[in-house]
C-alpha cells in the first residue's frame, strides 16, 4: 500500500494486529532485559526515561509468557500474529490445531454469566473478527478434532 492509497478495512485490521503483537513482544523483551540490569541502565540503552521503563515494566508484569512450542501465550494472540503477517497459514493451523484448550464450564442454571465457553472461544472470536478466514478456521477444527479431544 502506498502512502496515497486509501487503506481498506483489512489493511487497517492487519496493521492493528501488527501494532498489538509488536507491543506485547516489546513488553516481554523489556521484562527479560530488565532482569540483568538496572532500570536506569536499561532506560539509557533504549533511549527512554527511567520512569517510562518503570511504567512499562508494570504493564509487562501482566503479559503472559509465550507457551513453549507456540508463537503466543493464547490462541487469540497466535491468530493476531497470523493476521499481522508473522505466521504462515500452515503455522497458525498447526499451532491452533494442537493447542491444549482449557475446557469451558456450563452455566449454574440460574445465572447465564457463569457460563464459560472455554479457551477455544478465542479461536471462534479470531474467526468472527476476521483474523482467520473460513477455510483456516475449518482446518483448525479438523486438526483439533483429530487429536481426539
Quote the pLDDT of residue 144.
87
Please report, for residues 24, 70, 130, the alpha-carbon distance to residue 61 in angstroms, rounded to integers and kept in the order given: 11, 20, 29
The three three-digit cell numbers of residue 96, written as one number = 491452533
Global pTM?
A: 0.85
Quote the pLDDT of residue 103.
74
Domain boundaries, the chain: 9-60, 75-146
Quote the pLDDT of residue 116.
47
The per-residue pLDDT string of the chain (149 residues; one tens digit each, 9 = 90 and over) reads 566 778 888 999 999 999 999 999 999 999 999 999 999 999 999 999 999 999 999 999 999 999 999 999 999 999 999 999 999 999 999 999 999 987 765 545 564 454 445 788 999 999 999 999 999 999 999 998 887 65
Strand partners, 105: 116
Contact (CB, 8 A) for 98 and 147: yes
Quote the pLDDT of residue 114.
44
Quote the pLDDT of residue 108.
54
Please report, for residues 88, 96, 148, the alpha-carbon distance to residue 145 in angstroms, rounded to integers and kept in the order given: 21, 11, 6
Quote the pLDDT of residue 86.
98
Quote the pLDDT of residue 123.
95
Contact (CB, 8 A) for 13 and 82: no
Quote the pLDDT of residue 115.
44
Residue 105 sits at φ, ψ, to 5 deg, of: -140, 145
Amino acid at each position: 500500500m502506498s502512502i496515497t492509497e486509501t487503506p481498506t478495512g483489512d489493511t487497517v485490521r492487519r496493521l492493528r494486529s501488527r501494532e498489538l503483537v509488536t507491543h506485547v513482544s516489546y513488553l516481554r523483551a523489556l521484562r527479560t532485559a530488565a532482569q540483568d540490569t538496572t532500570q536506569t541502565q536499561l532506560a539509557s540503552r533504549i533511549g527512554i526515561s527511567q520512569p517510562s521503563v518503570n511504567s512499562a515494566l508494570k504493564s509487562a508484569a501482566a503479559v503472559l509468557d509465550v507457551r513453549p512450542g507456540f508463537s503466543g501465550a493464547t490462541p487469540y494472540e497466535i491468530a493476531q500474529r497470523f493476521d499481522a503477517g508473522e505466521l504462515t497459514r500452515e503455522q497458525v493451523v498447526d499451532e491452533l490445531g494442537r493447542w491444549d484448550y482449557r475446557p469451558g464450564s456450563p452455566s449454574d442454571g440460574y445465572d447465564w454469566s457463569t457460563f464459560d465457553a472455554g479457551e477455544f472461544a478465542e479461536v471462534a472470536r479470531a474467526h468472527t473478527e476476521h483474523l482467520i478466514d473460513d477455510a483456516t478456521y475449518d482446518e483448525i477444527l479438523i486438526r483439533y478434532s483429530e487429536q481426539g479431544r
